[in-house]
Amino acid sequence: MTNTVYVLNGPNLNLLGMREPEIYGADTLDDIAAMLEDRARELGLEIEMRQSNHEGHLVDWLHEAQAEGAKAVLLNAAAYTHTSIALLDAIKAIRTPVIEVHLSDPSTREPFRHHSYVGLAAAKTVQGLGARSYLVALEAVAEL
């Protein structure tokens, strides 16, 4: 196993920091990547940060994380969280632990965000802390 943590981000998260800061905060995905890299260095971990608007890319990257011997995956599947049986199956198909991450707290938002397919197979969920959700999830990986 390597010390690499894949951080996979789903649809529209490339727009982070540009719209809806009252929900998702002012940090961009690059800001979050920089924060994670700083903390990862202290924890002796490496970050592989990716974003895609395409469900299949996220499935392929989950498989890749396992094939490359990643220590864990932090997954913010964005809207696919609430729709994707393909992502649920991919998480179940790999042995690499997956931690579900959300900036907002979907359980306090619209009812269609209350169900998470990702959460059915994730080792843990960290949500509602803004960009800090990613940092708390990374700290949980260091304890795996």
Does 24 participate in catalysis according to the annotation? Answer: yes
Adjacent-strand bridge partners of 126: 101
DSSP-derived secondary structure letter, 23: H
- List the catalytic residue out of 6, 24, 80, 134: 24
- Tell me how far apart the alpha carbons of residues 30 and 99 are, in angstroms, rounded to a whole number: 20
Residue 82 has a CB neighbour count (10 Å cut-off) of 17
**End-to-end Cα separation, the chain, in angstroms:** 12
- In the complex with ligand CA2, which residue's Cβ is closer, 16 or 74? 16
User: According to the binding rule CB under 6 A, does residue 79 interact with ligand CA2?
Assistant: yes
DSSP-derived secondary structure letter, 117: T
Does 102 participate in catalysis according to the annotation? Answer: yes
* Least spacing, CB of residue 69 vs ligand CA2, in Å: 27
User: According to the binding rule CB under 6 A, does residue 3 interact with ligand CA2?
Assistant: no
Binding site for ligand CA2 (CB under 6 A): 12-13, 15-16, 19-20, 24, 76, 78-79, 81, 102-104, 106, 113
